[in-house]
Chain A
Amino acid sequence: MLNLFLIQALNGVQLGILLFLVAAGLTLIFGVMDLINLAHGALYMIGAYLAATFTAATGSFGLGLLLALPATLAFGLALEFLVVRHLYGRDHLDQVLATFGLILILNEGVRIVWGAAPMSVPVPDALSGSVHLVGTLHYPLYRVAIIAAGLATALGLHLLVNHTRLGMRLRAGASNGPMVAALGIDIRRLFLVVFGLGAMLAGFAGAMVAPILSVDPGMGDSVLILTFVVIVIGGVGSVRGAFVAGLLVGLADQLGRTFGPILLRSVMDASAASQTGRTLAPMLIYILMAAVLFFRPSGLFPARGSR
């Protein structure tokens, strides 16, 4: 039981870290640019496809990942230039519509370029084993690597946001955009940097999960919704909030799936408990979100004082 708990907790942390990587970019885009970007999940998908393609072409996952990062960045910058920059300052509804259109375009574009069948990426040989934790417990090395890479990225982001001039501008932009522009900072370039950075983080997350999930045209949609949950729980615009909420959502999801039915068994009979558990598990994070918003309508760590 303890082993099961540890494994599920680690799976939860791993899911949470990935959600954080996608959510960090999206929350900055929300917070700094006041832009709802539904196509953020599609960038995660693009990252996964690019990593899969480059890995197949070079025969090395490391090289594939290394090539996928700048490629996703370039893709994000192109998207900002072509469509997204025309949406700044527009109504939220316009942004929802246009980026909903972008999802349709990107999902269908991926089907045209790579086909509808899922692609698979082999786990790199160097990371294919498992590590020994305690007792008889082993955990796949690749998942440990994901957690480590995610934590390193989180630390890097923390340093970037809190200890650099760019980070200072990002934080200022999130708390009062018009004032930052009035102080003579090139807000257009700041937006471009934020969007590109966000796209690259999402692409990085997509590339990292490519070996353990199937790479398919719908993969961006499911992660997008989870990411929204993370951002809203954490508080729009807050990178720290996205980190805490990502772990919270990841742990709630993974532990709920396993231990929900076990806990329910103590109050009802076994078959009813497993049925109820299966029904409740996928809803758990949405219930968590509704509960958080009921008590704190602006999330756990609201970045903007006014909202």
Chain B
Amino acid sequence: MTALVARITAEPPRRRAAFSGAGLAGLVLAALAALPVAAEAAGLPFLVVTATRMMIFGLAALSLDLVLGYGAMVSFGHAAFIGLGAYAVGILDAHGIRDLAVQAPVAAGMCALFALVTGAISLRTRGVYFIMITLAFGQMAYFFMVSLAAYGGDDGLPLSGRSTLFGMRLIEGDPALFYLVLAVLAVALLVLRRVVASRFGRVLRGSRDNAVRMQAIGFSPLPYRLTAYVIAGAVAGLAGVLLANQAEFVSPAYMSWQRSGELIVMVVLGGMGTLVGPVVGAAALIALEEVLAHYSDHWRLGLGVMLVAVVLLSRGGLAGLAAKIGRRA
């Protein structure tokens, strides 16, 4: 009996994570801060653009991991939030509202609301059904934007320019946008670190590991899962705001189901249930795409083969693979 109580009240076993040191994250952030200067000096300005893209998708993957890694909810419609965030910028821009101080809260609020409504319905289901219903809601959002002819429909919607910040044109240049994205990502990492370490985060992880036990000790998992889903939606919406600003263009393609699949790949590649892992996974996947695309038009074939190989050979993503190789060596 005491053994049982001890097992119920103990912290869930920590997952093996290769990228979890806060100090390491700080070092990486510092190195990143120097990147635009170094890229300029080396004559490789496209590195700044690529790195910005990596961080934007890192932010989106990070938000997905709150649902997927910490909540064990395989959401297959996460790209919808990126798209909705991006469209919030595009639609406000079309009506002359260009300030980030308005766009970002509107985008996050819209995504949170969408997540609240769809999450409340999706969380009635389990397992395969949850995967499929989130996929369906993602497709709903996708088709809504495709048929919204007033805002470009299938063709997408060009922005009049990048957003202003408190009326100032602060993120016109690529290095400026890079620093903005870096700052947002750093803040998101810090905030989510507090969230997952809090009582809320512990209940969420407890429900992931054993929902029946959590219920037995008096926690209903549903409100915690729904809250995590809403937070994740809002953060992914912010990633959409940044993505729209980088491309200066908004398109329904941002929310296609393949995009949601890629986000899952990023999280799993980097290591689920860690915070830095998904960011590393996003960077790795985008780097892989860039490198493969450089060699062949058929780079997706190489990506697919690697994906199948990673799943068949390892459990736990790149982190798990690294640990496995480490044990053998």
Contacts and interface: CB of A to CB of B under 8 A. Distances in A.
A279 B144 contact: yes
Contacts of B146: 282
A9 B213 CA distance: 50
B308 interface: yes
A228 B308 contact: no
Contacts of B74: 92-93, 96
A290 B305 contact: no
Interface string A74-104: 0000000001001100011110111011111
Contacts of B265: 97, 100
A103 B301 CA distance: 9
A83 B306 CA distance: 13
Contacts of B148: 279
B236 to A, nearest CB: 19
Contact of B149 (A83, A228, A275): A275
A145 interface: no
B87 interface: no
A236 interface: yes
A225 B136 CA distance: 8
A101 B315 CA distance: 16
Instruction: Please indicate which of the listed interface residues B144, B147, B311 has the most CB atoms of chain A within 10 Å of its own CB.
Output: B311
B312 A287 contact: no
B128 interface: yes
Given A92-B74, A108-B300, A225-B139, A101 B311 contact: yes
A92 to B, nearest CB: 6
B19 interface: no
Given A97-B264, A298-B129, A289 B136 contact: yes
B301 A236 contact: no
A101 B308 contact: yes
Contacts of A282: 143, 146-147
B131 interface: yes
B261 interface: yes
B39 interface: no
Given A83-B312, A293-B125, A96 B131 contact: yes
A286 interface: yes
B127 interface: yes
A83 B309 CA distance: 9
Given A228-B132, A236-B129, A94 B315 contact: yes
Contacts of B150: 275
B128 A98 contact: no
B307 interface: yes
B interface: dominant SS:
helix
A303 B326 CA distance: 44
A290 B136 contact: yes
A101 B307 contact: yes
B135 interface: yes
Interface string B296-329: 0010110111111011100100000000000000
B81 interface: no
Nearest to A104: B304
A57 interface: no
A163 to B, nearest CB: 28
B304 A108 contact: yes
Contacts of B303: 101, 104
B129 A101 contact: no
Residue from A87, A106, A108, A289 whose CB has the most chain B CB atoms within 10 Å: A108
Given A98-B307, A100-B265, A283 B128 contact: no
A92 B140 CA distance: 23
A107 B300 contact: yes
A108 B133 contact: no
B144 A92 contact: no
21 contacts: A36-B131, A86-B312, A92-B127, A96-B264, A97-B268, A98-B311, A98-B312, A105-B304, A105-B305, A105-B308, A106-B304, A112-B301, A221-B258, A228-B132, A229-B136, A232-B132, A236-B128, A275-B150, A286-B137, A286-B143, A294-B121
